[in-house]
Amino acid sequence: MSVSNFDLLIVGGGAAGLSCAIYAVRYNLRTVVISSDFGGQILETSDIENWPGIKSITGSMLSKNFEDHARSLGASLVYGFVKAVKREEKNFRVETDANGFEEVFVKSVVLTSGAKHKKLGIRGEKELSGRGISYCATCDGAFFKNKVVAVVGGGDSAITGALDLASNAAKVYVIHRRDVFKAKPSYVDAARAHPKIDFIMETNLVEVGGSNKLEYVILDKDYKDSNRLLLDGVFVEVGFLPETELVRNLGVEFDDQGYLKVAKDQSTNIPGLFAAGDVTNASNRFAQLVTAASEGAIAAEASFRYIAFK
């Protein structure tokens, strides 16, 4: 088994992980990033128009820029999966399946494994993802100016997403499987009062369709005498699944929704273990590239101070 020694290991190669790597090597930390891909969720995004300083860029190009930047500064970026993170005295032993990095000993770990969008699991969803199906109203809403769209869900992200979309779209439907919302009542009241927003309650999507892009959805019951609704876009806002299983054995603390609890320096309750990005409860859980990158930078600085003064 190959054994390697670094100061810092970063789990995950998205915006948070690569931002952390960029800052960490500038602190002269021997840094390795292990990830099954480099780019994370932005690889699923065709166009990004909210990254400061760049009016428009594809997700694949921006992720490549992140990766090239981290490599150019000297970070080791390794493809693979982390299988286990174990605490050994004041350090960590990390087991991976990456060739040449099967066992890595480090002084600090930053978890940036992110969270997966919950999917609807319906016919046509996979095929039309990125072609009218989106999982982030804040990210993609501007592409649907003067279009007819729907938001699926009943939590805060769904209702605030509907309100955000209404500033650009011609019409917004909120489709919710229940007759009550989990969202804050003030958000629901604001949405109900908005002239562009209509509610379709106790209803599920069972299919989405279109030739090269989304054109319609099929409901499990009729709405205004038809179960077929013509739409230009559907925003699935039914929650996330934080990727936290890897560190549960360490005794980390979670909030009531399963996200890692972190302090303002991105530290967890386990000394030397930090976390950044969508896996945490930080930045008011505003899951955006800019907040993920910021948290990654903060985690790098905090890791440096932990290593320097422990």
Residues labelled as active-site residues: 136, 139-140
**Which residues are CB-contacts of 74 (< 8 A; sequence separation ≥ 6)?**
25, 31
Maximum pairwise Cα distance, the chain: 68
Helices (H), 130-170: 137-140, 156-166
* Cα separation, 152 vs 162, whole angstroms: 9
CA dist 147 and 231 (Å) reads: 8
- Could you tell me where the DSSP H helices lie in the chain? 15-26, 59-73, 125-128, 137-140, 156-166, 185-193, 289-309
∠ CA 287-289-294 to the nearest 5 degrees? Answer: 95
Say how far apart CA 226 and CA 218 lie, in whole Å. 9
C-alpha dihedral (227, 233, 239, 244), degrees to nearest 10: 130
Q: H/E element holding 33?
A: strand 31-38
Q: Are strands 205-209 and 216-223 parallel, antiparallel or unpaired?
A: antiparallel
Tell me the C-alpha distance between 180 and 64, whole Å.
43
Q: Using DSSP, how many helices (H) and how many strands (E) does the chain show?
A: 7, 19
Any idea what the Cα angle at residue 62 is, between residues 60 and 63, rounded to 5°? 65
Are 75 and 31 a contacting pair, CB within 8 Å? yes
- Tokens linked to 95: 């087991």
